[in-house]
Amino acid sequence: MTTTMMNLNRVEPMLDVPFIREMAEITFHMWNLGWDERNGGNISYILDEAEVATYFNINHVLRVLPLTFPVRELAGKYFIVTGSGKYFKNVISDPETNLGIVRVDSDGESIEVLWGFKNRTIPTSELASHFMSHIERLKVDPKHRVVMHTHATNVIAMTFIHELDEKKFTKTLWEMCTECIVVFPDGVSVIPWMVPGSSEIGRATANKMKDHRVVVWPQHGIFGTGTSMDEAFGLIETVEKAAQVYMLVAHHDMKQKITDQQLADLAKAFGVTPVEGILYT
């Protein structure tokens, strides 16, 4: 833990709440990595009712916010979410303004704010992408909990100089670091460039989430999902690392690389099944 976090702990009692602390630590960390400039990035994290009820009065609704896209599949679910226009760097010193705990109402048409989002803050502008992605990931994995969006620098850079065909993009990433095929054998998906913050980009992202945990938004950033903050972050971190290596080597003469046979050997050794149509072995 950094000194900053330890000092803040004395003045910020909310950091004693485990899931608020997790959000504060990861947002601070991601900002430190240079991925979340200004208000870049957003996170939503599914919480258990009991987990929330341990720290908050779940019968006291502070505000009700209508959704422009109904999410019946998430009715009754609790989330901690970053705020719209809020800076990742500031979450740790003022979680109550920069984060909020919300519950989707019983018909999935609005959300009830139970804590946070102080001073009329509203949830992230990418809530549609988050909620629609949660719906798809939960269908595939009931343990799914986290959707994380960040402006990972090298992933963005790579989308300028690499073909956006997702199989080719995945193959290149797998070739960059030995662990990649083990961490994301399901590959990464890529959507076309779209205006952010809309239901359309939400639907396009969620559509990819049916069979991927990672979605790249060209010239913008990345969405990663997982069963925990570590899983979602670890996935993004691994993709970003591979993209960084790519950006370092792309303009150089390649003397050797990880071959398709070696990638297949890795998959076999680690018991993972690489997504079809990428390896030629």
Task: Report the C-alpha dihedral over residues 239, 245, 247, 251, rounded to 10 degrees.
Answer: -140
Which of 93, 125, 228, 262 touches ligand 2HA (CB under 6 A)?
125
With H, G, I as helix, E, B as strand and everything else as coil, classify residue 23.
helix
Choices 116-124, 178-186, 221-229, 236-244; region in contact with Zn ion by CB under 5 A: 221-229
CA distance 72 to 115: 22
CB of 78 to Zn ion, least distance (A): 24
Q: State yes or no: residue 39 binds ligand 2HA (CB under 6 A).
A: yes
C-beta of 176 vs 201, nearer to ligand 2HA:
201
Total interface residues for ligand 2HA by CB under 6 A? 9
User: Which among 12, 22, 112, 126 is annotated as catalytic?
Assistant: 126
Site string for ligand 2HA, 9-38 (x = CB under 6 A): ------------------------------
* Lookup result for tokens 């913008």: 220
CB of 141 to ligand 2HA, least distance (A): 24
CA distance 79 to 49: 10
Q: State yes or no: residue 205 binds ligand 2HA (CB under 6 A).
A: no
Q: Is 162 annotated as belonging to a binding site?
A: no
Q: Is 130 annotated as belonging to a binding site?
A: no
CA distance 206 to 225: 11
C-beta of 53 vs 194, nearer to Zn ion:
194
Element (H, E) at 244: helix 229-249
CA distance 205 to 186: 16
Choices 10-18, 23-31, 110-118, 124-132; region in contact with ligand 2HA by CB under 6 A: 124-132
CB of 263 to ligand 2HA, least distance (A): 32
CA distance 166 to 37: 26
C-beta of 31 vs 174, nearer to ligand 2HA:
31
**CB closest to Zn ion, residue no:** 221
CA distance 223 to 232: 9
CB of 39 to Zn ion, least distance (A): 9
- The secondary structure of residue 103, as a DSSP letter, is E
49 is catalytic: no
C-beta of 221 vs 274, nearer to Zn ion:
221
* Lookup result for tokens 């090298």: 154
- How big is the chain, counted in residues? 281
Going by C-alpha positions, the residue among 200, 134, 175, 149 that lies closest to residue 274 is 175
Rg for the chain (alpha carbons), in Å?
A: 19
CB of 42 to Zn ion, least distance (A): 7
31-47: buried (b, 16+ CB within 10 Å) or exposed (e) per residue? beeebbeebbbbbbbbb
Residue ranges that bind Zn ion, judged by CB under 5 A: 221
Which residues fall in the annotated binding site for Zn(2+)?
149, 151, 220
Q: What residues act catalytically? A: 126
Query: Binding-site residues, please?
Result: 149, 151, 220
Q: Which residues lie near ligand 2HA (CB under 6 A)?
A: 39-42, 124-126, 149, 196
